[in-house]
Amino acid sequence: MTDFEKLGMTALRRLDPETAHRLAIKALVKGWAPTVKPYEDELLETEVFGLRFCNPVGVAAGFDKNAEAPLAMLASGFGFVEIGAVTPRPQPGNPRPRLFRLTEDRAAINRFGFNNDGVEAVAARLRALPGRRGFIWANLGANKDSEDRAADYVTVMQGLWGLVEAMTINVSSPNTERLRDLQGRAALDALLARCIEARDALTEETLRQTPLLLKISPDLSEAELADIAEVCLERGIDGIVATNTTLSRDGLASRHAGEAGGLSGAPLFQRSTAVLRQMRRLTGGAIPLVGVGGISSAEDAYAKIRAGASLVQLYTAMIYEGPSLGPRIAEGLAALLRRDGCYQFEMAVGADNPV
Ligand SMILES: Cc1cc2nc3c(=O)[nH]c(=O)nc-3n(C[C@H](O)[C@H](O)[C@H](O)COP(=O)(O)O)c2cc1C
């Protein structure tokens, strides 16, 4: 971290976490944030879903819910940024406070509940962006009061089609009642049938392909994961993001540990990596995986990659380390790949978890 970034992070940590986050986004939009030098290295280039990533380290969903600062995050050295969750209609989310720092645990608990400006506003913002270096993905959500959640995902997909390079169906947020039920076999099959049908219709109509991914929870049993893997393979989902936040509260020391919501950050690392590992085995490596949950160092990112992740994402560690963590992880990752004799990034993917 530069001295300027350290100063900024110290000042932000004195504020309520949601206010600090708003300010950080504002600083990024206005160009006030400390300039971070991207780390560029051919060894980190990789092709996934037919897209050529300049590096495999991305910003996880929820950081930039309304697509206010995706270019700033790309410019600071992330290979891709997932905006959202975006729902069809704007909604305020849950009452504040709804984001808590668990500093001793290097973690966070949030119960935002998909607060966002709605698909029209987000689409307008994306449409107005100048050219980009790197990819923008969108996290698709459903409105809290929706009677047909599958229709919501399809509406957001249609609204953002052509404006982003990939989309993630988020059925794993713990902060929208009964959303996670969509991960059950029958419900997921019905949901994916509709989403894939919509994806294929849009592809045909626009002659443009946009990969559709599914983001899953870390709180699933082996049997539930097996069902999800089977449905994803049968329906032709393009990728799986493992994982979202957890409801588990094991081994926490911070005073906010009892808050309701999803836990992210360091305590999530082991569980989310175990789910990723299982998913690779259950899908036989046939579907690209995105590893997210508790990454705060190059070693963490590398462990996810060796467990089977083709790409990685992070959010919570940035609350503590600032946005320069992205390029720092990218640089460390390149060093680890070289140390282990990998002359192509793909050689490391799943190296510890052969299928
Ligand atoms: C404040 C906050 C908001 C989030 N919002 C979303 C969201 O809207 N959609 C989603 O799929 N994941 C969301 N997440 C989950 C992250 O994308 C990620 O899966 C999770 O935090 C684990 O990664 P991390 O430990 O690096 O933070 C959110 C996480 C945090 C901390």
Residue 354 lies in a domain: no
Residue 145: inside a domain: yes
Would 340 be classed as within a structural domain?
Answer: yes
| 258 within some domain | yes
Q: Which atom of ligand 1 is nearest to the CA of 272?
A: 22
Strands 262-265 and 107-110, by their bridges, are antiparallel
CA of 244 to the centre of ligand 1 (A): 6
In a domain, 250, yes or no: yes
Q: Look at residue 39 and tell me if it is in a domain.
A: yes
Number of structural domains found in the chain: 1
CA of 196 to the centre of ligand 1 (A): 24
Local confidence pLDDT in tens for the 355 residues of the chain: 777 777 778 888 889 999 999 999 998 888 887 778 889 999 999 999 999 999 999 999 999 999 999 999 999 899 999 999 999 999 999 999 999 999 999 999 999 999 999 999 999 999 999 987 789 999 999 999 999 999 999 999 999 999 999 999 999 999 999 999 998 999 999 999 999 999 999 999 999 999 999 999 999 999 999 999 999 999 999 999 999 999 999 999 999 999 999 999 999 999 999 999 999 999 999 999 999 999 999 999 999 999 999 999 999 999 999 889 999 999 999 999 999 999 999 999 999 999 9
Name the pTM for this structure. Answer: 0.98
State yes or no: is 173 an active-site residue: yes
What CATH number does residue 59 fall under? 3.20.20.70
Determine the structural domain holding residue 166 and report its residue range: 3-348
Burial class (CB in 10 A: 0-12, 13-18, 19+), 59: buried
DSSP 8-state secondary structure symbol assigned to residue 68: S
60 within a domain of the structure (yes/no): yes
Rounded Cα distance, 105 and 264, in Å: 10
Q: Is residue 309 part of a domain?
A: yes
